[in-house]
């Protein structure tokens, strides 16, 4: 893509329009269409997408937002920054998404202060959205989809970011659709909500220097938008490559007789785009050391669940409050899954795991 991307960057440089402008507008239209949404609003990062979405529904100190304790920090961090309280519901141990079963506690977590539910579509697979939307409608709550890892994933034929009232995406370089720096997008189907997010990203001003409310500087750089417009054309082929790699991994683990390794679950009626390929093993840290010794890269998503983070100590949570999240934090490890990963590399990774004697 080098020549395409250089041409896109040159186009921005020649225009001298580095903030907003036609490149950002083009990306907004293209990502919205790709995500089956009416509106897209480019913002400066996935974190700012979440923050702007919360600000757009006027979250205030004392409000409560229900979300997952097993996710990237920004999910709860943005809630906290507005003076609101993150209220956690444990995860399904198989999908790592919010437990929406009758025994999962989602509806029981709702109080008179609850304003919204923020499900996280973790690792590239969407949460069980039907019960979430039903409970939200019953209690007149807003749903904000944290789809930072899930662009193009589907639930019953509907794309991430299109089911809730607002969807939030990240274009961090490691994402399936990654830029040359930070970037994000908020999607919506409601015109008024979309316009409010659009105003918020530019300090709440319209027209210029006339401020309806206090927003922030959440604008997406035109250079990032231009790069992402090139890369968006390749996204489905990359996702297919990740899906192919996941399928081959499953075959290799089965042939190696590694039944003790917990492989990712693809829930029914989903399109999993494998932002990560996460396995579970009981001797996780020892296995990571063994893989590192053999020059195989890994990552832990996430070693400390949010309810046990030091900065949220005032919430009063203890070890054992959310056992499925706590167990996942000690057992999960992400293996290489990028679409260019060769079959020989995948075979070697599984062979090294098999030879470790740790699973």
Number of domains the chain contains: 2
CATH number for the domain that contains residue 350: 3.90.1150.10
CATH number for the domain that contains residue 71: 3.40.640.10
Residues 215, 88: one domain? yes
Give the side-chain half-sphere CA count within 13 A for 12: 22
Confidence of residue 87 (pLDDT cuts 50, 70, 90): very high
Residues 179, 258: one domain? no
Domain stop point among 198, 232, 266: 232
pLDDT at 271: 98
Dump pLDDT digits (tens) for 121-177.
999 999 999 999 999 999 999 999 999 999 999 999 999 999 999 999 999 999 999
Domain hosting residue 136, numbered range: 2-232
Residues 158, 220: one domain? yes
Domain stop point among 217, 232, 247: 232
pLDDT at 108: 97
Residues 160, 220: one domain? yes
pLDDT at 344: 98
Dump pLDDT digits (tens) for 268-285.
999 999 999 999 999 999
Dump pLDDT digits (tens) for 29-50.
999 999 999 999 999 999 999 9
Domain stop point among 173, 208, 232: 232
Residues 162, 174: one domain? yes
Residues 282, 135: one domain? no
- Mean pLDDT, the chain, as a whole number? 97
Residues 172, 317: one domain? no
């Amino acid at each position: 893509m080098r020549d395409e991307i250089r041409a896109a960057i040159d186009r921005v440089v020649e225009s001298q329009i580095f903030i907003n402008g036609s490149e950002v507008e083009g990306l907004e239209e293209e990502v919205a269409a790709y995500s089956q949404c009416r509106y897209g609003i480019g913002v400066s990062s996935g974190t700012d997408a979440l923050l702007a979405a919360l600000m757009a529904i006027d979250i205030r100190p004392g409000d409560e937002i229900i979300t997952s304790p097993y996710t990237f920090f920004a999910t709860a961090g943005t809630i906290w920054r507005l003076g609101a309280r993150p209220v956690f519901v444990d995860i399904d141990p198989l999908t790592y998404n919010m437990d929406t079963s009758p025994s999962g506690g989602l509806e029981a977590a709702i109080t008179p202060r609850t304003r919204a539910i923020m499900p996280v579509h973790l690792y590239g697979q969407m949460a069980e959205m039907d019960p979430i939307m039903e409970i939200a409608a019953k209690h007149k709550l807003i749903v904000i989809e944290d789809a930072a890892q899930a662009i193009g994933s589907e639930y019953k034929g509907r794309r991430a970011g299109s089911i809730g009232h607002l969807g939030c995406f990240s274009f961090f370089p490691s994402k399936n659709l990654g830029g040359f720096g930070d970037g994000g997008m908020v999607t919506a189907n409601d015109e008024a909500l979309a316009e409010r997010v659009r105003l918020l990203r530019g300090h709440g001003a319209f027209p210029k220097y006339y401020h309806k409310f206090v927003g922030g500087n959440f604008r997406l750089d035109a250079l990032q938008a231009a790069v992402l417009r090139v890369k968006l054309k390749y996204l489905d082929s990359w996702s297919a490559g990740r899906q192919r790699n996941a399928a081959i991994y499953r075959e290799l683990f089965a042939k190696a007789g590694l039944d003790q390794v917990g492989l990712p679950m693809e829930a029914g009626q989903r399109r999993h785009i494998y932002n990560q390929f996460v396995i579970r093993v009981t001797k996780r840290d020892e296995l990571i050391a063994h893989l590192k010794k053999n020059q195989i890269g890994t990552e832990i998503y996430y070693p400390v669940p949010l309810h046990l983070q030091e900065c949220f100590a005032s919430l009063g949570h203890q070890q054992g409050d959310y056992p499925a999240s706590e167990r996942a934090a000690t057992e999960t490890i992400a293996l290489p899954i990028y679409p260019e990963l060769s079959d020989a590399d995948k075979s070697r990774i599984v062979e090294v795991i098999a030879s470790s004697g740790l699973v």
